[in-house]
Structure formats: C-alpha cells, structure tokens
Amino acid sequence: MTKAGWAFFLAAAVSLAIGPKAIELLARLKLRQTISEDAPERHRDKQGTPMMGGLIILIGTAVGTAAFWTQSSRLSAVVLLTLAFAGLGFLDDMLIATRGKSLGLKARQKLLIQFVLAIAFMIWVHANRTAYPTGVPLWGGRMIDLGWAYYPIAVLMIVGMSNAFNLADGLDGLVSGLTVIVALTLGAILMASESSGMSTISWALAGGCIGFLWYNCNPAKVFMGDTGSLALGAATAGIAIAARIEFFYLVICLIFLVEAFSVMLQVASFKSTGKRIFKMTPIHHHFELSGWPEQKIVVRFWIVQGLISLAVLGWLGILKVWR
C-alpha cells in the first residue's frame, strides 16, 4: 500500500477514535451551534448540537500526514495555509458560541483575513516556482499562461473555495462526505504524477473527514463549524495550486461552485428585480423547501460528486493506469 493509503486509514482511525471524547468535551465547554433564524424550520431541532468538530478532522489529518511526512516545502506551505484558515474559523466559531447567536466575525473582517492569508500563500508560490510560474496546465499536455493575472485569480480561488465549502455546510454530512470524494480524487491524480507529499495530505484529509462523517451523518452528533469548512476549502485549493492542477480542481469541485453561485445569483436577482430565483440558498436549501428529505439531498449530492470525480479520472486516464 502507498504512503497515501496508509495516511488515509490512519487519519480515519484517529478521527473515529477521538470523536466521542471530543464531542463530549465540546458539549461540556458549551461550544454549541446556534441555528440562524433564516434557516429552514426543520433545522430548529439542530439547535445546541456541539460544533467546532472540524478539530476532529484536523487532528486526524495531522496525524496521518505527519506519520508519512515527505520533506517538501510545498507540503509545509499547504499545511500552514490549512492551519491558518482553521484558526480563522476557530475564532469565528468561538465568537458564535460565546455570544449565543449565529453571528461571529463580520463578513468584511473574515474576508480581509482570508485575503491576507491567501496572498501570503501566493507570495510563497511566486518565490518557489521556477518553470512556467504563471501557467495553468490543461488537458492533453496543453497549458495556458495567465501572466500576472494568475496570482489574483489564484487568491480568489483560495478565498472563494474556502467560502464555498462554508456555504455548502448546511446539511448533516454534506460537506464532510463531498470532501472525502474530492480529496480522494485529488490524491489519485497526484499519485500518478508527483512525490512531494500532496497525495499523502489529500488522502489524509479524506481519512480525517470519513472518520468525522461517522458522527456527522444525519442526525449529526457534531458539526464541523467554520473551523472545519474554511480549512477544508483552503486546504483543497492550496493542494491544487501547489500541485499545478488548478483547472481540474475547479471541475472536480463543480458542486461547491454551484452552491456558491446559487447564493450570488439569488442576491443579484433580488437586488435588481426584487424577485428570488430559488426558494432559499445555498441551493441545497432550495431542494429542502421543495420537499426533499435531508438525507436524500445529501446522498444525491454525494452521487453527483462521485460521478464528476470518476469522469475527471477517466478523462485524465487515471482509471486506465490503475486497471
């Protein structure tokens, strides 16, 4: 078995093992979720569920990655980016828990910090890349050179995906399950092309999420909070940038992009016409208000994510390599 495979199983085992005690500790510290008044009515039953369970994912991922660490500046940079966004989410969750309201950092405060962290990461990228530093590899060996536009686009990708994962985290098990598939897909792509440890952290991340999913599936015993969702979005985007697979990453993360764009379209439509396109956004709430049970929405999103991932792996010929 590869290092990435061992990292996956170790991270999953650690997350599973520490889950019960971690949930008990979060509840004892009164770190509980406050449900927004704008959430669907059926979510009222989730009030008081322990949050900040993203720490379970991060601990599992950290152990899995550290146990099979490959000395690499790229791996170190992605780890630091992940921890920085996790720290931001932790602060936001703490404010929500202590205030007893679904209100943490102000949106502009959170965005400012996210941009600062993403810019710092891209400064590292600029300082450490040599060949085609602003090029984005496409399919069939093609590449597009974005020039200096690459850097602001990459910063927007990190910030945007971090927030997209955060927006999608509205149903039990949705983001944790989707991240398992996304991270496994990224790791599979990278196993066939590099040895800098990116595949190891990708699969460790998947393992951490699958262990957490045991407790996060409906009805959830714990929520990941911003501590988890902001970190997961930044981590996967950071892996894609460090490993030069940005284009394929965005294709793989189509569901997260749809979740984010549904919010943007709703806001734009309401401000310009006074009408809403969807019953509620992000779009998973639209399906909820259309009568779909929560479990059905989550599983169907997982299925679609799996099909997207398989399509990308087939497109790149990864499945043929594994056959």
Q: What is the dihedral of CA 81, 82, 84, 86, to 10 degrees?
A: 160
Q: Where are the domains of the chain?
A: 3-322
Q: What is the dihedral of CA 5, 8, 14, 19, to 10 degrees?
A: -150
For 69-91, what is the mean pLDDT?
94
Give me the chain's average pLDDT, please.
91
pLDDT in tens, 90-138: 999 998 888 766 677 888 999 999 999 999 999 999 998 877 888 898 8
pLDDT in tens, 171-213: 999 999 999 999 999 999 998 766 568 999 999 999 999 999 9
Q: What percent of the chain has pLDDT over 90?
A: 76
* pLDDT band with cut points at 50, 70 and 90 for residue 322: very low
pLDDT in tens, 204-239: 999 999 999 999 999 999 999 999 999 999 999 999
Rounded Cα distance, 279 and 270, in Å: 12
Please report where in the chains the tokens 């991340």 appear, as a residue: 205
DSSP string for residues in 254-308: HHHHHHHHHHHHHHHHHHHHS--SSSSSSHHHHHHHTT--HHHHHHHHHHHHHHH
pLDDT in tens, 270-282: 999 989 999 999 9
Rounded Cα distance, 14 and 11, in Å: 5
